[in-house]
Amino acid sequence: MSVAAAHSGGIADHIHPEPQGFVRRYVFSIDHKIIGIQYLITGFVFMMLAGLLAETIRTQLLNASGGFVSPDTYNEVYSVHGSAMVWLVIIPIATGGFGNLVFPLMIGARDVAFPWLNMLSFWIFPVSGLMLFSSFLMGAPAAGWTEYPPVSLQGAPGTTMWCAAIFLVGVSSTLTGINFLVTILKMRAPGMTFTRMPLFVWGQFATAPLLMIATTALAAALAALFMERVFGVPFYDPTKGGSPVLWQHMFWFYSHPAVYIMILPLFGIISEVLPTFSRKPIFGYKLIAFSSMAIALLGFMVWAHHMFTSGLAPFLQVLFMVMTFTIAVPTGVKIFSWIATLWGGKIHYSTAMLFALGFLALFTFGGITGVFLAAVPTDLDLHGTYFVVGHFHYVLVGGSLMGVFAGMYYWFAKMSGRLLNETLGKVHFWLFFVGFNMTFLPMHWLGFMGMPRWVATYDPQFQFWNRFESVGSYIMTLGILCFFINVIYSIRAGKKAGPNPWNARTLEWQIPSPPNYYNFKHIPTVYGLPYDFSQPLPYTGLEDELTDSPPAQLTGAHH
Amino acid sequence: MAIAAIPHDAHGEVDQLYVETRELRLQGFLLFLISDCVLFSSFIFAYLYLRNTGQGWPPPGIARLDVAFAAWNSVVLFGSGATMHYALENWKHGNFMKYMWMLIATIILGAMFLGGQGYEYHHLIFDEKVTWAGSGIFGASFFTLTGMHGFHVFMGVCYLTVLLLQTAAGTYTYQKYFGITAGTLYWHFVDVIWVVLFSIFYLL
Ligand SMILES: [Cu+2]
């Protein structure tokens, strides 16, 4: 019997029974959209906590002599701030949050491949977050977010908790990566070929293998650190034959690709927002899609550019320097494609678009300062200074976090059915943008002047710019408060969004906001790219989506 | 007659949902094995890195491993790989009795391998005084990596035992065959990892 002769009823047509009761609907949900929202809420809560730590840092640095917290506490504060922002905020929001929320809709699927596994991935995340923050109760990790041994071997008991927490959140990431990869490979709607996938899906597709592979390498490094701290098994302690540099290799083998875990999904968001609000097809669709894959691949071959001061052989230094420079090529291709998309477009300055444009400016700047650090001679001078801090905050806050906000202002309408308030949104953007630059731009010249990072007190000559930065950071925080107020206000009283407030063309905008639990009444067929604004939509089978009729599977038809 | 393995629903039609779900699960499982492989590779990298940056190898005062014994133990494990392969083949062709016997053989050989490893550990720890935490990077790498591998074999033995009991009780039926395929993949994966571990610890 051929498969075609069988009645349809494959996985694409399958509808889970409607979840009943509050717990199954909103707590232990297997619906990717709810799980996505759970990720976002949890991520933003952790962002508030880690932001509080950031303001503790900036308040301490108001005075050259410190005095707000003790130097030991200061070490704990910046270590947990960095760890939380990377592993509990940016990565979960970019992958588990926006990934879950949007990409299954974009490929015309009813859910991810493994909904139960998805629920498990999510629930590991808040547990590990609480574990990380609980480390303050027992003496938090104090060797920076990179936790280099031998310092981390001698750290307080909370360092062991840190290992366990990051290991667990890594397991969650790995499971998410597997889930997303299978979903994209196997569950696309008919006609949704790889070269018709929206660029946000490409972003997730490039990120998923990084989540799977790089995170596992970090898990090994963390497991070894855990074993050494708890059982005294020598991996990193040089007095027992171990090597602290081994940790650096394993840590950066993960953490450089992790930079792309934190940026590729946001590239995807930018690639959706820019064409929608400039009413023009994205320029160089294939260039953007394939350069994501190139970045993901090259990202595995450059980790030792973080180790130029760790006694790397000179030929290896040159090799890693050149490899790192090559990543600038696919990244530059993207930036030029985005600028070309804007060129001559009818630009609509919505808040989402402002954040996308802000992303473009700040990320490009952060990319350029990255080249200074990838070049061996300048890195030897700048390593361990505030220049580094300035650089990666431009990439991770000016880049990733701006992208997160662009995504929030864009897709909030889809997840809640209401629009975020645009006026408050613009206040948010300008406070955030100005405050951000005030906070992190002076760090570059402070770095050139030789101000070291990771210090609780500093030379009085740096005081003016440090105060300037702290004021900037308070302004930035005000901006973020506007965002939270906006979310709370708009959920209750925001303007009703309707299915497609932006006139966007990807599939998630062709169904109601918020979508029904089964996403699509009928799985659509796809005929082309979603970016051709002058043409009719390239889909069929969507006629019933905005009517009241239930899907055929639920009307008692043969199943 | 491999086609007979496609499951049918109550109406005698192909259960498309099961077929596709199985395909998804297999792909997911394969990706899981890739991550698992990265976990092993990272520790293998750590071992080779430490070995090459330390002060000479083997570290002074550490006895040579018993290569001959480990070689025999490896033969036992590879034998279980062969019986696992035939278990799957027989399942596909509907030869239940042969499938059951092959599965039992796999479980016994797997358990024998674990027994051999236990014996080797006992010998190292109590006769040679080589321990996990007290013998420098050799003890750390050897016990961590072979321990991880042994844990994988142990999990495999448990899993196959459950599968065997389920088949015997009739709850794992001919219609479902994700479990046996995944089990076979996993078992071969564990075999391949052992080839690498054997080479780097006993031969290199
Ligand atoms: Cu890097």
Residue B57 lies in a domain: no
Spell out which residues of chain B touch residue A216, defining contact as CB-CB under 8 Å: 35-36, 38-39, 42
User: What is the predicted pLDDT for the residue at B8?
Assistant: 46
Residue B56 lies in a domain: no
Mean pLDDT of all residues in A42-55: 97
State the Cα–Cα distance between residues A93 and A127, nearest whole angstrom.
16
Please identify which residue in the block is written with the tokens 């290991």: A167
Contact A217 B140 (CB under 8 A): no
Contact A213 B23 (CB under 8 A): no
User: What is the predicted pLDDT for the residue at B53?
Assistant: 83
Mean pLDDT of all residues in A281-306: 91
Mean pLDDT of all residues in A245-260: 93
Residue B17 lies in a domain: no
**Between chain A and chain B, how many beta carbons pairs sit less than 8 Å apart?**
123
What's the pLDDT tens digit per position in A504-516? 999 999 999 999 9
Question: The domain spanning residue B130 has which CATH number?
Answer: 1.20.120.80
Mean pLDDT of all residues in A258-274: 95
Give residue A17's pLDDT band: very low, low, confident or very high (50, 70, 90): confident
Spell out which residues of chain A touch residue B13, defining contact as CB-CB under 8 Å: 1, 6-7
Is the pLDDT at A312 greater than 80, yes or no?
yes
Contact B49 A10 (CB under 8 A): no
Residue B183 lies in a domain: yes
Is the pLDDT at A8 greater than 70, yes or no?
no
Give residue A419's pLDDT band: very low, low, confident or very high (50, 70, 90): very high
Give residue A358's pLDDT band: very low, low, confident or very high (50, 70, 90): very high
Give residue A415's pLDDT band: very low, low, confident or very high (50, 70, 90): very high
What's the pLDDT tens digit per position in B26-52? 999 999 999 999 999 999 999 999 988
User: What is the predicted pLDDT for the residue at A4?
Assistant: 34
Give residue A133's pLDDT band: very low, low, confident or very high (50, 70, 90): very high
C-alpha of residue A463 to centroid of ligand 1, in Å: 30
Residue B22 lies in a domain: no
What's the pLDDT tens digit per position in A207-252? 999 999 999 999 999 999 999 999 999 999 988 888 999 999 999 9
- Is pTM beyond 0.80? Reply is yes
Mean pLDDT of all residues in B53-58: 73
The tokens describing B164, both together, are: 């065997």
Mean pLDDT of all residues in B163-189: 86
C-alpha of residue A306 to centroid of ligand 1, in Å: 6
User: What is the predicted pLDDT for the residue at B179?
Assistant: 87
Average pLDDT along chain B: 87
Contact B133 A8 (CB under 8 A): no
User: What is the predicted pLDDT for the residue at A559?
Assistant: 40
Contact A113 B13 (CB under 8 A): no
CB-count burial class (<10 Å; 0-12, 13-18, 19+) for A403 = buried
Interface test with A, best of B3, B17, B41, B51 (most A CBs within 10 A): B17
Give residue B178's pLDDT band: very low, low, confident or very high (50, 70, 90): confident
What's the pLDDT tens digit per position in B102-130? 999 999 999 999 999 999 999 999 988 88
User: What is the predicted pLDDT for the residue at B6?
Assistant: 46
Which residue type occupies A471? Answer: V
The tokens describing A311, both together, are: 């006694």
State the sign of the Cα–Cα–Cα–Cα dihedral A38, A40, A42, A45: negative
Residue of A10, A179, A246 with shortest CB distance to B20? A10
Cβ-contact A51, A39 below 8 angstroms? no
* Residue of chain B whose alpha carbon sits nearest to that of A239: B136
Smallest Cα–Cα separation from B21: which of A176, A197, A9, A557?
A9
CB-count burial class (<10 Å; 0-12, 13-18, 19+) for B60 = exposed
Is the pLDDT at A365 greater than 90, yes or no?
yes
- Which residues are registered as beta bridge partners of A385? A452
Between B64 and A370, whose confidence is greater?
A370
Which residue type occupies B93? Answer: H
User: Reduced to 3 states, what is the DSSP secondary structure of residue A262?
Assistant: coil
Mean pLDDT of all residues in B142-162: 96
Give residue A556's pLDDT band: very low, low, confident or very high (50, 70, 90): low
User: Reduced to 3 states, what is the DSSP secondary structure of residue B173?
Assistant: coil
Is the pLDDT at A6 greater than 70, yes or no?
no
- Tell me the percentage of chain A whose pLDDT exceeds 90: 85
Give residue B175's pLDDT band: very low, low, confident or very high (50, 70, 90): low
Residues of the domain holding B156: 68-203
State the Cα–Cα distance between residues B42 and A243, nearest whole angstrom.
15
What separation, in Å, do the N-terminal and C-terminal C-alpha atoms of chain A show? 19
Interface test with A, best of B14, B30, B51 (most A CBs within 10 A): B14
What's the pLDDT tens digit per position in A452-487? 999 999 999 999 999 999 999 999 999 999 999 999
Which residue type occupies A336? Answer: F
Is the pLDDT at B3 greater than 70, yes or no?
no
Smallest Cα–Cα separation from A36: which of A152, A122, A150?
A122
Is the pLDDT at A2 greater than 70, yes or no?
no
Is the pLDDT at B5 greater than 60, yes or no?
no
Contact B59 A241 (CB under 8 A): yes
Consecutive H or E run containing A539: strand A539-540
Is the pLDDT at A367 greater than 70, yes or no?
yes
Contact A235 B140 (CB under 8 A): yes
What's the pLDDT tens digit per position in A50-99? 999 999 999 999 999 988 999 999 999 999 999 999 999 999 999 999 99
B contact set with A (CB within 8 A): 13-14, 16-17, 19-21, 23-25, 27-28, 31-32, 34-36, 38-39, 41-43, 45-46, 49-50, 53-55, 59, 132-133, 136-137, 139-140, 143-144
State the sign of the Cα–Cα–Cα–Cα dihedral A9, A10, A12, A17: positive
Contact B46 A3 (CB under 8 A): no
User: What is the predicted pLDDT for the residue at B66?
Assistant: 86
Complete domains list, chain A, with CATH:
29-540 (1.20.210.10)
Average pLDDT along chain A: 92
Spell out which residues of chain B touch residue A117, defining contact as CB-CB under 8 Å: 28
Number of domains in chain B: 1
User: What is the predicted pLDDT for the residue at A333?
Assistant: 92
Residue B145 lies in a domain: yes
